[in-house]
Amino acid sequence: MSGQSSRRTVLKGAALAGAAGLGVAACSTESNLGHAQVPTPTAPVTLGAPDEIPVGGAKLYREQRVLVSCPAKGQYKAFSAQCTHAGCVLDKIENNEGNCPCHGSRFDVTTGKALKGPATVPLPEVAVRVENGKLVAGPEATTPKA
């Protein structure tokens, strides 16, 4: 008899722990300090025309969480635009520095390096290429080549 009731208690406890675990997981995507959860696109994303990016400058694609710099004509470098401090998306680029609106970190848009804290980890580089006249960031599509 007592065995049955303690088993029930355990089950109830497990259900509660499960619910609590879910809450923590959902929260950590917003506020997990130190590591962005999904810092780079996991599938190719089309950004726009390459000439939107000034030569020697950079452009922020907030929606896609990517920034692209153009060190020289026809050359592009892309980085995650998600702050490596707590995962906010950068809000603007000033003087070739990406600005994080949450706690003021700054990143070099040509290297991804953290120039000003609290972030210390550089923005991860993202593959970028021009396809059909559009910049495409993220991993190559895995369609077999004909």
Residues that bind ligand FES (CB under 6 A): 83, 85-86, 88, 100, 102-105, 118-119
CB of 115 to ligand FES, least distance (A): 12
How many beta carbons lie within 10 A of that of residue 85, not counting itself?
21
CB of 90 to ligand FES, least distance (A): 8
Nearer to ligand FES, 58 or 135 (CB): 58
CB of 20 to ligand FES, least distance (A): 25
How far separated are the first and last CA of the chain, in Å rounded?
68
Nearer to ligand FES, 57 or 118 (CB): 118
Which element (helix H / strand E) includes 2?
helix 2-31
Burial classification of residue 74, based on how many CB atoms lie within 10 Å of its CB (0-12 exposed, 13-18 middle, 19 or more buried): exposed
